[in-house]
Structure 1
């Protein structure tokens, strides 16, 4: 128990140091990128200070895996350098038991990052963006309004697809409206128009067609140059606020996916974003599992710098592979779950194998 606490204490001390270093470097780089916006607009120093205070939770999310990897390498190399690992093994303690506190701590860090991503980071990011886009840049809103390919399902059951929406002059372009039966099993009417303008509290549709469908298919098609229809929708109904990804909690993302899925929208990319937010914190666990045996092996052949270099190469390789899988998920080659969790499952297996064979001179001892 004492050895576990000692190993855990060593890891946590290096983790805090690594986190502080990574966060500091990130914020410093961002400061030089953003400082001109604050200075040229005569923003108060309190706004600058609060902006970076609110940015810390956002940075912690992305820096957590790298901090875990560096802390693992430094902790293992430190214990190996002072022969403390050899002393523990001489007392009958296995490598797995020695390093179990590090693996457990990396898992705890991943869970804390998820908690931060759900409860702290979204609110902090909203305030951070409000300071930069509203208080500093004097914008009207720091959120984006969806203006292209807008889908809307009205309370009456009508489904609108708007190619382009201009909220400034209240016009819709390339509109398709689908009217269905009460149980949404069949389309009864479809209205297409090049343009619709909001005038006198109603929509005026221009250059379009009206198709009526029966049980046997298309029954009638009418063309019009300008016509109004009795739809209850108003311009504000088509305003959909698109939050920035960092402003969304996991629950908000899930609810949005379910809502859009019920409207018949393609939510594959949104499922990918949600699984990415859930899987990314566990990269730290994967890197810890791989970093432990690699640090032990490399410490026998070289010093601390060699160990850091080896693990850095592995970390970059995993990041490249993970990013490639995410890209293939966005392209539709992989499913959202496979694209985000597949690399983690693969490298976790490799990490466990390396950890269990760290004392063996044979590459496949289980098959001897």
Structure 2
């Protein structure tokens, strides 16, 4: 009993370093796709470093809900891969400790991770999404040119649409400006100007667009009369209140909703629309993804033990393949559930059932010293990829 307790503490401690390393690595990978956008926001849109860090913080819960289960699987896989490669598993079996008695630290570690993932999914994601939205409102109110983008139509204002070809955020100057003003029911006004500049208004909810050397074309919608006027300087004042109101009134996405909001929607929904199924999916996803920590953690134990002859890099590849299969199952369940082909319950829990069931099957085979042929094929495939990779590097 004492030996088993020591082994459990030893394995639990061994799980922590690879978990931390994988967590940091996957966070970096997930954020890589945002580097260009983040750099553009900081350099060109004049957003402060504090605002950038807050944006990063608000987006982290969504990433962590998927990264933590992946990191759990990789940490368990790498830990048992090392134990098996160093013949520690063989030594433990010789001491009378079976594979089943090595599961408690894995289960406890997976449970802690599942609770953390559940907290991120249930509370973290809605908090992050709503906080990000509120921050966007504050940015729009304080500096509207953050929302301007080159070569894109902007219809944030009721009755006014404008298009800017070039923007210089250093001095807030604009180039090749096109504005269509339909705020007057009797007249349709089009303004074209080769250059202009943005000035902040007296309050935070307005700004002045100064245009230079342009043309105003005004059409009387009743008489169809057209008037054209050239100007040297023309100031157009735009009110941000409607723009801010439009942002704040945008429909709340399912992932932004708290559990009580999801349940309230399902209780009041009268028809089984696409929104209805999406809410059901999101509700079950908040619980099924945390449970993936346990299912993938169990699967990683036999994967690590039976892959003892592979390199750690190949073991990493095996783990990534397994998680890719899980993600494909989750995506398939999501698509089929949204289409109403299968129940959202089955669609969101099917990946856990399949991967967890596979883990239990492989665990029983491993405990009975019955190797699975698929491991030999996966090891050969991973080894072949590694050899080719190093051969290419040597050739270069």
Q: TM-score, normalised by structure 1?
A: 0.66
Contact 1:295–1:311 at 8 Å: present in 2 too?
no
Query: What SS does the corresponding residue of 1:358 show, helix, strand or coil?
Result: helix
Q: 1:118 aligns with which of 119, 122, 126?
A: 122
1:38·1:136 contact (CA, 8 Å) conserved in 2? no
1:348 aligned to which of 356, 359, 362: 356
Counterpart residue number, 2:262: 253
Query: Is 1:72–1:292's contact at 8 Å kept on the other side of the alignment?
Result: yes
SS state of the match for residue 97, structure 2? coil
Say which SS state the counterpart of residue 33 (structure 2) adopts. Answer: helix
The aligned residue for residue 53 of structure 1 is 57
- Supply the RMSD in Å over aligned alpha carbons: 2.9
1:42 aligns with 2:41: no
* Aligned: 1:70 with 2:74: yes
Structure 1 equivalent of residue 301 of structure 2: 292
CA contact (8 A) 1:11 1:72 kept: yes
Gaps of 5+ in 2: 148-156, 160-244, 373-396
| Residues 330/252 of structure 1: CA separation in 2 closer, same or farther (3 Å cut) | same
3-state DSSP class of the match of 2:366? coil
Shift of 1:329: 1.2
Residue of 97, 105, 110 corresponding to 1:106: 110
Q: How does 1:1-368 map to 2 (within 5 A)?
A: 1-132=5-136, 134-135=138-139, 241-259=250-268, 261=269, 263-264=270-271, 266=273, 267-299=276-308, 301-362=309-370
Contact 1:133 1:139 in 2 (8 A): no
Q: What CA distance in whole angstroms lies between the structure 1 residues aligned with 2:279 and 2:330?
A: 18
Please state how far the C-alpha of 1:362 moved relative to its aligned partner. Answer: 4.2
> Shift of the alpha carbon at 1:108?
2.3
SS at 1:46 equivalent: helix
Q: Secondary structure at the match of 1:5?
A: helix
CA distance in structure 2 between the aligned counterparts of 1:139 and 1:349, rounded to whole angstroms: 53
Gaps of 5+ in 1: 143-166, 170-235
The answer to which of 326-335 and 17-26 deviates more is 17-26
3-state SS in 2 of match to 1:323: helix
Runs of 4+ with deviation above 4 angstroms: 136-140, 361-364
What secondary structure sits across from 1:242 in the alignment? coil
- Separation of aligned partners in 2, 1:60 and 1:9: 22
1:90: how far off? 1.8
Residues 98, 367 of structure 2: 8 Å contact kept: no
What secondary structure sits across from 2:341 in the alignment? coil
Question: Is 240-249 or 328-337 further displaced after alignment?
Answer: 240-249
Provide the rounded CA distance (Å) in 1 between the counterparts of 2:35 and 2:137: 16
Is the 2:100–2:367 Cα contact (8 Å) retained in structure 1? no
Q: Normalising by structure 2, what TM-score?
A: 0.61
Report the alpha carbon displacement of residue 48 of structure 1 after superposing the two structures with TM: 1.0
Q: Are the aligned partners of 1:37 and 1:136 in contact in 2 as well (CA < 8 Å)?
A: no
Q: CA deviation at 1:361?
A: 4.8
SS in 2 for 1:357: helix
Q: Deviations over 1:316-357 (max 9, x none)?
A: 122212211221111111111111112311221111111121
Number of paired residues? 269
